[in-house]
Chain A
């Protein structure tokens, strides 16, 4: 079978199953397993499945996902989550969509210390999403804002994916990380604009926070102590080098459990509940994610991404046409393969091409990071989509999640275009490092 027919068949089968309402985890995993069986036979298929389950579910950076969700659970139990949003609400009175914009801003700050978007999406999914919905935000707007806030994480340094990109392309890690900073802020601004535009278009999508007196505004700050302490515990421990970004998730969970206990709000029953909820959501997310990993494995095994790159590279077109084609290619690849595979499978082939065409590898890396931000929210393999579906209340349908995310993806596209026209936005800051 030709490789494109193979890829097409695989993609169609996944799509059909998902549309028919087969759970996403099964659609991805079983389809991959079937193609593996056809190619490798039973024993080797079992070998691949077993290895991937074990590898993926013992993958160290991923433990931040359940730990941050657990932190969120304990923050709710302890009432701290309510405090945070009470403060935000009272200080944002009069600004329509203010809470959504603050969420995006908080995402940028969180991103400046954490290195993984999955951790960030989990954190904001459990903390901000229910609050936004509670306040009457449109479901799609709320989900989109949270997905975007979390997605900023791997663009704003530090970033595990950027370190990976730098090691695959052998550019300076320090410069690569610096390069993400300004584009990250631009992207955060673009997301803010999406919120603003959305609310301008349909004012009922976001409520105005109720007007309060200055006395009330100042009074609510009394509640700020504990949340501030927790923020310091998590972000401060990373900043001061006490803990790695992954470990900070554990510290955050323990600290918020401590706060909840100090406030005498923890019973054995509620502790169990928090643990069970986290287990349920983690299992749900990770079963889908490993299905996505298997799909990536099959596509990589058949060298589909490389062949796609080869086809483009051999087309003799203007270098900028080619660059746009690369971006479109990443949008398509991003639908089906995970970010890590996106980087390590395509970049070895692309580096010599980009160098020959005199494109800057750091600049290209930043474009790729924005593309990955989008890949996290495009179906069928979109990690953020499923984290948010898992964390959203029941009446938020999967279609809501997709629709909300895709509208914010417009900002990603716009930022890619801006960075292509004004490469200095990326390259200026790293150059100042000398």
Chain B
């Protein structure tokens, strides 16, 4: 049973690790944008791949941050209606939310997998740097898989009645 208990912990650690990678991608994006400007403006010798690299690092910033955002209570819901409900009803609705979240995550993961596997099978490459597209697109299924797993962890917490997790809306920017 001890092994079972570590599964959620492992998933949560995965969410954290992916977010760290996303953070590195973000830093890289910032640097490459500035590098592109310097090369073009100061050295009058623009680099073709700077733009593409910046666009491609945006993808992991988003995709690999999805699970982390969920773990830290982002992904906003409204309180138009849920505020007036009993705790029991709210718990039910919260479970519904999490279930739908998992469904969306799995479907999206599948879609990302389809995309990346086509890119792999056909050996597609990017226009400028000629990076294999599968390397870029693979973060979509990975991100959504982690998101789905994290949603399951949240569901488990909700079932155990962890009050902190059943509170609606918590999309705040941490500071």
Residues of A within 8 A of B (CB): 17-26, 29-30, 33, 43, 45-51, 53-54, 57-60, 62-63, 66-67, 70, 76, 126, 130, 237, 242-243, 246-247, 249-251, 253-254, 257, 272, 275-284, 286-288, 386, 389-399
Whether the Cβ atoms of A283 and B69 lie closer than 8 Å is yes
A77-B48 Cα distance, complex, nearest whole Å: 33
Contacts of B96 in A (CB 8 A): 20, 22
Whether the Cβ atoms of A18 and B36 lie closer than 8 Å is no
Sample 21 A-B pairs with CB under 8 A, ordered by A number.
A18-B78, A23-B101, A26-B75, A46-B111, A50-B112, A57-B58, A57-B63, A59-B58, A66-B61, A247-B37, A251-B34, A272-B23, A280-B173, A282-B62, A283-B65, A284-B75, A286-B62, A394-B172, A398-B77, A398-B79, A399-B80
Interface SS, B side: helix
Whether the Cβ atoms of B97 and A23 lie closer than 8 Å is yes
Contacts of B65 in A (CB 8 A): 279-280, 282-283
State the Cβ distance, B18 to closest chain A Cβ, in Å: 9
Partner of B19, one of A30, A63, A126, A276: A276
Contacts of B165 in A (CB 8 A): none
Whether the Cβ atoms of A26 and B101 lie closer than 8 Å is yes
Contacts of A46 in B (CB 8 A): 107, 110-111, 114
What is the total number of residues of chain B having a CB less than 8 Å from a CB of chain A?
A: 66
Known: A26-B100, A51-B115, A250-B29. A21 touches B172 (CB 8 A): no
State the Cβ distance, A369 to closest chain B Cβ, in Å: 26
State the Cβ distance, B96 to closest chain A Cβ, in Å: 7
Partner of B30, one of A54, A250, A396: A250
Whether B175 sits at the interface, judged by CB under 8 Å, is yes
A275-B61 Cα distance, complex, nearest whole Å: 10
Whether the Cβ atoms of B173 and A391 lie closer than 8 Å is yes
Whether the Cβ atoms of A21 and B168 lie closer than 8 Å is yes
Whether the Cβ atoms of A398 and B169 lie closer than 8 Å is yes
Nearest opposing residue in chain B for A287, CB measure: B66
State the Cβ distance, A291 to closest chain B Cβ, in Å: 9
A45-B115 Cα distance, complex, nearest whole Å: 12
Partner of A250, one of B37, B63, B140, B174: B37
A29-B101 Cα distance, complex, nearest whole Å: 10
State the Cβ distance, B31 to closest chain A Cβ, in Å: 7
Partner of B104, one of A18, A29, A47, A66: A29
A282-B27 Cα distance, complex, nearest whole Å: 14
Known: A20-B82, A276-B68, A282-B65. A237 touches B103 (CB 8 A): no
Nearest opposing residue in chain B for A284, CB measure: B74
Contacts of B135 in A (CB 8 A): none
Contacts of B34 in A (CB 8 A): 247, 250-251, 254
Whether B93 sits at the interface, judged by CB under 8 Å, is yes
Minimum-distance CB pairs A-B, first 3: A250-B33, A283-B65, A50-B115
Interface centre among A48, A280, A397 (most CB of B within 10 A): A280
